Amino acid sequence: MLWRPYRLRKNWQFQEIIMKGQKIVNPSFVVFSVANNFNNCQFGISTPKKLIKKAVDRNRFKRQIRDMLISHLKKHHESCQVSDNHSHYNVVIIVRYPYLENDFATNQKNLYKLLLSASQEKSNPQPKNDSLPKKEN
């Protein structure tokens, strides 16, 4: 079980992070992250009902991802910081279809890479270009 201070539980928390957060994608996951003012990171896991029909399967995949997060936290001495930038984040992890086809080790490696890239992008922010590219005729 992911410890209580590390969990996001309320729908409004998920929605706020998805709306305001930085989106990072790989084949198995979509991760949204936003900086917080707490002494630890908080994680939320979402398994879409459209993708995984049975609640038993959705809960199993959430347990697997929680296990990946717990091993990640233990590896980093209960700190979600994998870089030297000493800031904490709220993270929402959404499962994608290739997660279902991959084995646990591959999914774990994909999640660790994504968490590492999320922390590196936060420490080296890229300027956002919200304008659409113009088509030249």
Summarize the confidence of residues 17-43 as an average pLDDT: 89
The residue segments making up the domain with residue 108 are 4-123
Q: How many separate domains does the chain show?
A: 1
Q: State both tokens at 116.
A: 């590492």
Q: Identify whether 135 is part of a domain.
A: no
In tens, the pLDDT along 48-84 reads 999 999 999 999 999 999 999 888 888 876 666 555 5
pLDDT of 136 > 80? The answer is no
Classify residue 78 as left (phi > 0), alpha (psi -120 to 50) or beta. left
Q: Identify whether 36 is part of a domain.
A: yes
- Segment (H or E) for 65: helix 55-75
| Amino acid of residue 101 | E
The CATH number of residue 88's host domain is 3.30.230.10
The pTM of this model reads 0.80
Q: Identify whether 131 is part of a domain.
A: no
Give Cβ neighbours of residue 57 (< 8 Å, ≥ 6 apart).
none
Q: State both tokens at 19.
A: 């709306």
Strand partners, 25: 30
In tens, the pLDDT along 123-133 reads 555 444 444 45
